[in-house]
Structure 1
Amino acid sequence: MSPQDLAAKVGENIGTSEWVEMTQEKVNMFADATGDHQFIHIDEEKAKMTPFGGTIVHGFMTLSMIPYLSANSDMPKIDGVKMGVNYGGNKTRFIAPVRVGKRIRGHWELVEMIEKRPGQWQQTAEITIEIEGEDKPALMCEWITQFFV
């Protein structure tokens, strides 16, 4: 799909990812990578005594799953992309904890798609990460990505 064709989809849902299980092993690896070893993420016995009833996924880990979820989604691919980069976010809210062992998936709604310079496109999408079987999403964010074609 051309960037111009994608720009015509502003206001539409442009994709949904596959489900992915958030395992304790993944959470432990994220804790090691970031240095965030708070017990609610890695100590299953202590975490059972909290209102969460067990270990939960780091909020930042859930946010960092966006590239994986995007790559494993039905979103249209932009023709001729040489490179894509994260540009930042306007809003990020961690709404509900993801309990370890749950599955998540992402939904994308296109908010804006503009050409900043010839061949440099900026996409803003509202991303909702859903938790399987839960009423509230894990997070919602408005994320900005730039694509170079």
Structure 2
Amino acid sequence: MEIYRSAADLEAALGTEIGPTDWLTVEQSRIDLFADATEDHQWIHVDPERAAGGPYGATIAHGFLTASLVPYFMNKLRTIEGIRMGINYGLDRVRFPSPVRAGARIRARATLIDLRKLDDGAVQVTNRVTIDVDGSAKPGCVVELLARYYFADAAGS
């Protein structure tokens, strides 16, 4: 777990990879709950019997389910202290190079790839987050996560 206390700490971390996290198992029950929440009940996600004969040999997690776990993993990788507020600002370049089969274990690592100081006193950071799939040569998800942090002191120092 990395701890950052200022914009200067974040800036010093540019280009540094943190992680990986511990493994998290993606159970069929989580996939089913995500399907219910998003109304995406495609058989490749929710029908284990049919999916067994499909292209992946099992049901797979929705790509957006995998991406939705990025904040969970980021909270396991780092803490930012001394902020009044932190917000998710968006995502860039979301890719799903490999499926995440039901029952697979995933973990994440992140690299801070950009930092910009904004006029309103916020610091905008971009982290490239890679979600590894146990036993797969390719990651299940690679995303650039944009976040804004407002430090308690307006200068962010």
| 1:7-38 CA distance string (max 9 Å, x none) | 11211113332211100010000000000000
Question: Do 1:97 and 1:138's aligned partners in 2 also have CA atoms closer than 8 Å?
Answer: yes
Paired residue for 1:33?
37
Superposition TM-score, scaled by structure 1 size: 0.93
Question: Do 1:7 and 1:114's aligned partners in 2 also have CA atoms closer than 8 Å?
Answer: no
SS in 2 for 1:10: coil
Paired residue for 1:53?
57
Aligned counterpart for 1:62 among listed residues 63, 66, 81 = 66
Question: Do 1:3 and 1:78's aligned partners in 2 also have CA atoms closer than 8 Å?
Answer: no
Length, aligned pairs only = 147
For 2:93, the aligned partner's letter is: K
Question: What is the correspondence of 1:1-149 to structure 2 with a 5 Å cutoff?
Answer: 1=4, 2-73=6-77, 75=78, 77-117=79-119, 119-149=121-151
For 2:70, the aligned partner's letter is: I
SS in 2 for 1:113: strand
Q: Percent identity?
A: 40
Structure 2 unaligned spans of 5+: 152-157
Superposition TM-score, scaled by structure 2 size: 0.88
RMSD (Å) for aligned C-alpha atoms: 1.2
SS in 2 for 1:134: coil
Instruction: Give distance in 2, aligned partners of 1:26 and 1:90.
Output: 25
